[in-house]
Chains A and B, each alone.
Chain A
Amino acid sequence: MITFENIDVVYPNGFKGLRNVNLQINKGEFVAIVGLSGAGKSTLIRTVNGLVPFTSGTLTVGDVVVDPRSKTKLRRLRSRVGMIFQSFNLVSRVSVLNNVLVGRSAETPTWRSLLGWYRAEDKELAFQSLERVGIVDKAYMRASSLSGGQQQRVAIARVLAQDPEVILADEPVASLDPPTAHKVMRDLRRIQQELGITTIVNMHHLDLARSYADRIIGMRGGEVVFDGPVEEATDEVIEQVYQRSLTAEDIVTADTASE
C-alpha cells in the first residue's frame, strides 16, 4: 500500500536525511520504526504525508504517487493520511471537540472553518471518533485541562475524524508515563485492527514495539538496516541496529494490567 522506491532526502544544507530507502508496507499492517535519534525515523514518516519533501525516488501511497511540490495534491493526500505527534499538538485554548474537528479541515470549505460553523455530519463524525477513544465526556472541555494520555487520545480522535487510510505516529508515547503509554498503544492497536488502517509508528521503546507491532523496521544513519516481523527482532538484532548494547532507557517498565 505504501511503496518507497530509492527514496533520498537531502536537506538544503546538504545533510542526507534518508539514503536509498526501499520499503513496501502492506495495507492494514502495524509497523514500528526503531532507531537512535537522528537515524531518520521522523524524516521517513514525514515523507509519507509530504511534511518533508523527498529529493529523489518514487513514493506511492495507495494508488497516488506523492508529488511533494503540488500543494493541492498534498492536501488531498493528507486528508487520507493522519498524523499524531509526541507533544500531542492540540490547540490548548480551544475545546476538545473543536480540536477533533480540525481533522475535518480537508473536507470543510474555508468559510465554514473561518466561522467555526461545521456541518452536522462533520460534528457527528467528530463525536463518533471521540467515542471510539473513550473520551466523549470531555468534548466541550478546554484541551489544555486534560492529562497527557487524554490529550493524546484526543489527537487520535482528530486523526480518526479524517477517516484515514494511513496513520503516522511520531513517538506518540514518549512524553507519557509507562501505564498511560501502554494504554494509548493498546487503544491505537485496537482501533487499527478494528478499522484496518495501515499504521506506522516511530518509537524508541522496544518492549512497546514488540508488544503492539506486526513488523519492525530498524534505521541507522538514514538507511533501513533491518526489516522483518516482530519475532525476528531479537535483542541481538536490535543491538546491531543501534550499534550499542541495550540500556534500561530502551524499554518502558511493565504494563500495569489494572488499567
Chain B
Amino acid sequence: MPPTSTTTRPAPPRPSGLVYLGLAGLAVVAFILFWITRESGDVLLIPLGFVTLWAPLNPVIALVVMLAALALCFKARIGTMGAFGALAFIIMSYWAGATINFTLLEIPERWSNVEPRLMAFMDPNWSYIWTVRDQWLITISMAVVATLIGCAIGLVLAMYASPVSSPNKGTSQAIKAINSVIRSIPDVGWALLFVAFIGGTAHGLGPMAGILALLMFNIGIVAKLLSETIDAVNPGPVEAADASGANLTQRNRLAILPQVLPGFVSYGLYVFELNIRASAALGIVGVGGIGSAMMLQLNRFQFENVAAILIALIAVVLLVDMFSMYIRRKLL
C-alpha cells in the first residue's frame, strides 16, 4: 500500500493562457509579414460556394504550422519561453527558406540531370583508387606532419594562454587574443592565403602550402581546447610543485602536463582526423593530394572515379577513428 500523505500534492504548473494568446497574435503578425513579402505566386483556393477564399500557399502553411505548434505546446503545458522558442524557430526557418528559395521540390524537376550522375556514382570505379595511390600518400603525410607540428606548437601556446600555467594575466590575455584571430580564419581560408603567397601545385609547392594551412588550423584548435583543459586541472599538485621550489616551467612540466596528457592525446587524434578530411577538401584550392584528384575527376564528369575516391576516404577516416579509440583505451 502506498504511504498515505497528509499533504496534498501540488498541481502541475499551467502556462499563462494570456501569453499564449499573445504568441498566437505574434503568429498572425508573422503570417501577414510572410504574405506581404512573398515572392512565390502559388495560391491556395478554398471555394465556399458563394465566395472563394484565396491566400498565398506558403504563408498559409506556415500559419497552420505555427498555430498547431502553439496548441501542442499549450496542451503539453510547455512554459511560455519554450513556446516562444518553438514559434521563433518556425518563423526563422520559414524566413530563411523563403529568402534562399530552399525547397526540396527542385530536385525532382532537375531529375533528368541528377539521374545519370547518381547512376555513375552508384557504380564506383574501384581500380581508380589504386591509380591515385600517390595522391593518397601526399594527403596522409600532409595530415601527419601538420598534426605533429601543430600539436607541439599548440601545447606551448596553450601553456601561455591558460592563466593557470602562464607567467601572468597579461600574457594569457594576449595569447588568447592571438589564438582567437587564428581560429577565425577557416582552413580553406588559410589554404587560399598560403597558395597565393607560396604557390600551389603548379609550382610543386602545393603540399607545403597545405601543411602550413593545416598547421594554422590545428594550432588554433589545440591551443584553445588544451588551454581549457589546463584551466580545469587539479590545483593541488601545482601548489605542491610551487612549495617544493619549482620554477614556472618545471611546475608546468611536472604538475600540469601529466594531468592534461590524456586530453592532449585525445585532441591530437581528433585533429589528425580533421586533417585527413580537411586535406581532401583543401585539394580543391590547389594544395594537391586526394582533393585535387577528386576535383579533376569532377571537372571531367567522371563520377565513377569520384565515388571511388569518396568511398576510400570514408574508409580511411573510419580506420583512423578506430585507431584513435584503440589508442585512447590503451592510454587511459
Contacts and interface: CB of A to CB of B under 8 A. Distances in A.
Interface of A: 49, 51, 75-79, 81-83, 85, 87-94, 98, 102-106, 108, 110, 113-114, 155, 158-159, 162, 168
B245 interface: yes
A106 B244 contact: yes
A90 B239 CA distance: 10
A104 B261 CA distance: 22
Nearest to B236: A89
A49 B258 CA distance: 25
A149 B34 CA distance: 72
Contact of B246 (A93, A105, A168): A105
- Kindly name the residue among B236, B254, B261 whose own CB sees the greatest number of chain A CB atoms within 10 A: B254
B261 A83 contact: no
B242 A93 contact: no
Contacts of A93: 258-259, 261
A75 B245 contact: yes
B241 interface: yes
Interface of B: 236-237, 239-247, 249-251, 253-255, 258-259, 261
Contact of B243 (A49, A87, A88, A113): A49
Nearest to B246: A105
B42 to A, nearest CB: 65
Contacts of A103: 244
Contacts of B244: 78-79, 82-83, 102-106, 158-159, 162
Nearest to A93: B258
A91 B245 contact: no
A96 to B, nearest CB: 13
- Kindly name the residue among A81, A88, A110 whose own CB sees the greatest number of chain B CB atoms within 10 A: A110
B236 A162 contact: no
B247 A85 contact: no
Nearest to B249: A110
Contacts of A92: 259
Given A105-B254, A114-B253, A51 B243 contact: yes
Contacts of A110: 247, 249-250
Nearest to A72: B247
A82 B243 contact: yes
Contact of A51 (B237, B242, B247): B242
Contacts of B240: 83, 85, 89-90, 102, 155, 158
A87 B246 contact: no
A105 B243 CA distance: 10
Contact of A91 (B242, B243, B249, B254): B254
B245 A78 contact: yes
29 contacts: A51-B239, A51-B243, A75-B247, A78-B242, A82-B244, A85-B239, A85-B240, A87-B236, A89-B237, A89-B240, A91-B254, A91-B255, A98-B254, A102-B241, A102-B246, A103-B244, A105-B245, A105-B246, A105-B251, A106-B245, A108-B250, A113-B250, A113-B254, A114-B249, A114-B250, A155-B240, A158-B240, A159-B244, A168-B243
A112 B237 CA distance: 19
Contact of A94 (B236, B243, B245, B258): B258
Nearest to B235: A89
Given A51-B239, A89-B236, A89-B237, A162 B253 contact: no
A76 B245 contact: yes
A92 B233 CA distance: 12
B253 A113 contact: yes
Given A85-B239, A85-B240, A102-B240, A79 B258 contact: no
Given A98-B254, A105-B244, A108-B250, 6 more contacts: A83-B240, A89-B239, A104-B244, A106-B246, A159-B244, A162-B244
B237 A90 contact: yes
A83 B245 CA distance: 11
Contacts of B254: 91, 98, 102, 105, 113
B250 A83 contact: no
A105 B249 contact: no
A34 B243 CA distance: 22
A102 B249 contact: no
A61 B245 CA distance: 15
Nearest to A74: B245
Contacts of B251: 105
A213 B92 CA distance: 72
A105 B237 contact: no
Nearest to B262: A93
A87 B235 CA distance: 11
A194 to B, nearest CB: 21
A159 B243 CA distance: 9
B249 A113 contact: yes
A94 B257 CA distance: 11
Nearest to B248: A71
B328 to A, nearest CB: 15
A51 B240 CA distance: 10
Contacts of A159: 244
Contacts of A82: 243-244
